[in-house]
Amino acid sequence: MSDTGIGASVRRKEDLRFVQGAGKYTDDMNLVDQVHAYILRSPHAHAAVRSIDTSAARAGEGVVAVFTSEDMAEVGGIPCGWQVHSKDGSAMAEPKHPVLAEGKVRHVGDPVAVVLAESRTQARDAAESIFVDYDVLDAVVDMQAAVTDGATSVHDDVGTNVCYDWGLGDKDAVDEAFSNAHHVSRLDLVNNRLIPNAIEPRCAIGDYDQATGQFTLHTTSQNPHVIRLLMGAFVLGLPEHKLRIHAPDVGGGFGSKIFHYAEEIIVTWAAGQINRPVKWTADRSESFQSDAHGRDHVTTVELAMDADGKFLALRASTLANMGAYLSTFAPCVPTYLHGTLLAGQYSTPVIYCEVKAVFTNTVPVDAYRGAGRPEATYLLERIVQVAADDMGMDATDIRRRNFIQPSEFPYQTPVALIYDTGNYEASLDKALENSDYAGFGNRKAASKEAGKLRGIGISSYIEACGIAPSNVVGSLGARAGLYEAATVRVNPTGSVSVMTGSHSHGQGHETTFAQVVSEKLGIDFDSIDIVHGDTDRVPFGMGTYGSRSIAVGGTAIVNAIDKVVAKGKKIAAHLLETSESDIEFENGQFVVPGTDKAKAFGEIALAAYVPHHYPLEELEPGLEETAFYDPKNFTFPAGTYVCEVEVDPDTGTVEIASFHATDDFGVVINPMIVEGQVHGGLVQGIGQALLEGCNYDDTGQLLSGSYMDYTMPRATDVPSFSVDTTVTECTHNPLGVKGCGEAGAIGAPPAVINAVLNALSEVGVTNLDMPATPHRVWQAIRDAQAS
């Protein structure tokens, strides 16, 4: 292994500019003659808009224009990128998602009007003088209430609040297995709504060049081509060659920057209207009300077992919150990213999952780190623990008894997926060893001495990364492909520029991808540049989410490299006066094995661009190749997490005493970056389990609308993590990689809650929903004692 190739913990190239404050984020850009947009948002969760009087605002100092939906009549609604069908075959309800409110507002923060002014302050001042005559309506907040007969409708044209009623699996076989089961464990749970909070708030700058008719949108996006497709084709009617989307350095996304947002449309469209650049930057309070939220499921799950604790069937019924409108990928999150994961690591023979997606007067909900898979893992790993307790079995024994065995791969689950590889017992064993699982009893006794309750919890998760292939996801309702593209441009003196459709917003692609190229081409790591985030520079790619970048984007790069090497061999054969089949490429040299004939990679590059001695009649000059890669299957990272907590029964405070993660990500390109990804994911998972709870009151006001009330995890809230790996290589991509970005957020919540409930079992608490805040834990102890 070289010190910059695959498997090396190379320090991140991009960090030098980030730690020096030299990163270039969207808000760092200020265009000549730009105006600032302020978006007036609804203060009500649900109201009819009788009239909007903008006359005072238009007369405001520095005001350039004021727009409402009436001005945008020719602009389309915000499209949804995935269509789910209900059990009965009908298409989901897909009400219009207007850019600015049309006659009604449907959540606090819903955009109503936009003011453009010379300064931000002027725009905001003017917005305060807009008079909106609202007729406040009952708000639909609680999902269970929303689906009862006679409930107020969020969308009058839908009539009910059910977006779709979806099912997956063989219901009859499941029902039969339940009726013959030795024991059925049952659990009601809530997967709490989260507010993403990337460190960089969203920002969008629209620019229009009257001379060329070219529009440019600089935006905080994880997938600029997807935005170009959605906004160009469905909203503004702009052809691709007249629309450039540029997403420069982006400060975290976690899914929230996948989606196409109203503000991107507003600034692009408005720039064309006034022929000046238009800039909008969210403040943090605005982010709370306008970035798509995550999770928010209410679920009942049941697990049927035989007398030995062998799983016979699983049944899950979920209400999934969509919020007020369908965000870009919202419909697929609780269905194809959730129901399909319910086999987990287990050979449960039959599974049935049904999901009702529900409209409410809340901020739209969409993919957030893990997207559906944390919800699946949470319900599964919680019910497995309940089952172990019900059956009087150890948490590890029940898992071992039901694990899919290494010999069974490829394994067809009863919920559509085919796992290609894995070794679940290996991860479990390592996690148990690292965490000294056997020594827990002594630690628990020591805690008890100190007046504390100690608990241990396990979660054996699986995730599906690199969602694919395109024809399958298309049949499931995706309105886009899910391949990835890369261009490898070898420059004349042998340096390499890689244009990737993946987008880095913290992941470290500039380092990891360069390591892959360095390894494959045998060239210096520092002579490789990774270019991303600009539709004018990179081929049509689908961006970064779902832990897809290395598995899908990395493979596209490898395939393009293979084409470069193939062409290089032809050139080398000509220069070395031998047959192409005699040439091999190794360590950056085209060689004829067994001879001293060799040409360095740089010599071939130069020959390709200065083709004086070159087979011009057979081969084009230049050395640049593009590959589009459409994966054959998902990848399936898996692992086991062991969490140990100490609970203070006097205050309800939960402290994480230790956390041991063992993940199988397949081949790891950069162990340091992977460890960092796991740390980040674990912190978000622990945040969900213990701290983060989005809270709406009955009128749809967001009570947790700032950091004063929404608890983001801090360094002191988490322990020093122990992170380890096992490896089974992915069988269907050339790197053998699986992806690591979401694992921590997927596996951690059930490990933490299982540990908390294990601790609280001493005092009679049997169930608890996330986040397990001190107040909630104390109340649970108190309620258990009272009963």
Interface residue list for other proteins (CB under 8 A): 121, 124-125, 128, 285, 650-651, 691, 693, 695, 703-704, 707-712, 773-775, 778-779
Minimum CB distance to other proteins, residue 775 (Å): 5
For other proteins, the closer of residues 156 and 650 by Cβ is: 650
Write down the residue that tokens 């991140």 correspond to.
12
Closest contact distance (angstroms) between CB of 709 and other proteins is 5
Q: State both tokens at 324.
A: 């007020």
Q: Cβ 128 to other proteins, closest distance in Å? A: 8
Give min distance, CB of 693 to other proteins, in A: 8
Pair of tokens at residue 627: 């590959």
Of 543 and 771, which CB lies nearer to other proteins in the complex structure? Answer: 771
Cβ-based nearer residue to other proteins, 590 or 696? 696
Residue 362 or 559 having the CB closest to other proteins: 362
Measured from the CB of residue 687, what is the shortest distance to other proteins in angstroms?
Answer: 11
Among residues 328, 253, 237, 322, the alpha carbon closest in space to that of 287 is found at: 253
Of the candidates 361, 354, 366, 297, the one whose C-alpha atom is nearest the C-alpha of residue 151 is 361
CB closer to other proteins out of 197 and 402? 197
The encoded tokens of residue 53 equal 């009087």
3-state class (DSSP) for residue 404: coil
Query: What is the nearest approach in angstroms of other proteins to the Cβ of residue 276?
Result: 25
Task: Report the residue number, 91 or 712, with the smaller CB distance to other proteins.
Answer: 712
Which has the closest alpha carbon to 743: 373, 346, 337? 373
The answer to whether 272 and 208 are in contact (CB under 8 A) is yes
Could you tell me the smallest distance in angstroms from the CB atom of residue 697 to other proteins?
A: 9
Residue with tokens 């990395």: 554
- H helices of 324-394, where? 373-391
Q: Are 645 and 622 in contact (CB under 8 A)?
A: no
Residue 273 C-beta: closest distance to other proteins, Å: 28
Per the CB < 8 A criterion, the answer to whether 500 and 542 are in contact is no
Q: Which is nearer to other proteins, 22 or 712 (CB)?
A: 712
Q: Which residue is associated with the tokens 């194809």?
A: 336
Residue 209 or 650: the one with the smaller Cβ distance to other proteins is: 650
User: 412 vs 651, which CB is nearer to other proteins?
Assistant: 651
**CA-to-CA dists, residue 772 to 531, 666, 691, 750, 753, angstroms:** 42, 33, 7, 12, 8
Nearest distance in Å: CB 675, other proteins: 27
CA distance 507 to 522: 24
| Calpha distance 507→74 (Å, rounded) | 38
Cβ at position 215, least distance to other proteins in Å? 33
Q: Cα-flanking dihedrals φ and ψ of residue 552, to 5°? A: -100, -55
User: Least distance in Å: CB of 201 to other proteins?
Assistant: 14
Q: Closest distance between other proteins and the C-beta of residue 406, in Å?
A: 43
Give the nearer residue to other proteins in terms of CB position, either 434 or 773: 773
Task: Closer to other proteins by CB, 61 or 408: give it.
Answer: 61
Distance CA 505, CA 420 (A): 29
For 53-71, letters b (16+ CB in 10 Å) and e give ebeebeebebbbbbbbbeb
Residue 703 beta carbon to other proteins: minimum distance, rounded to whole angstroms:
5
Q: Quick one: CA torsion of 698, 334, 477, 546, rounded to 10 degrees? A: 120
H-state helical runs in 405-463? 424-434, 440-449
Contact predicate 664/638, CB 8 Å: yes
7: tokens are: 């498997």
- CA-nearest of 575, 574, 539, 573 to 557 is 539
610: which 2 tokens?
């200065």
Q: Concatenated DSSP letters for 253-314?
A: -TTTTTS--HHHHHHHHHHHHHTS-EEEE--HHHHHHHS-BB--EEEEEEEEE-TT--EEEE
Q: Which is nearer to other proteins, 310 or 782 (CB)?
A: 782
Cα distance between residue 742 and residue 681, in whole Å = 6
Q: How far is the CB of 712 from other proteins (least distance, A)?
A: 8
Residue 325's closest CA among 473, 158, 194, 190?
A: 158
Residues 688, 191: Cα–Cα separation, whole Å? 9
The Cα 37–Cα 302 span in angstroms is 50
Angle (CA) 685-686-688 rounded to 5° is 65
Closest CB 707 distance from other proteins, rounded Å: 6
Phi, psi of 177 (to 5 degrees): -60, -40
Which residue, 311 or 696, is less far from other proteins as judged by CB? Answer: 696
Q: How far is the CB of 127 from other proteins (least distance, A)?
A: 11
> 123 or 330, CB closer to other proteins?
123
Cβ distance to other proteins smaller for residue 58 or 120: 120
Closer CB to other proteins, 127 or 607, in the complex = 127
- Residue 700's alpha-carbon distances to 108, 240, 723, in angstroms, are 7, 39, 40
Q: What's the rounded Cα separation, in Å, for the pair 348 and 312?
A: 6
Residue 779's H or E segment, with its range, is: helix 774-786
Beta bridge partners of 51: 133
Nearest to 672 by CA among 13, 179, 224: 13
Rounded to the nearest 5 percent, the helix, strand and coil shares of the chain are 30, 25, 45
Of 528 and 777, CB closest to other proteins: 777
Q: Which residue has the tokens 């009649």?
A: 617
CB of 778: closest distance to other proteins in angstroms?
A: 6
Select from 329, 344, 336 the least CA-distant residue to 294: 329
Question: Judged by CB, which is closer to other proteins: 73, or 708?
Answer: 708
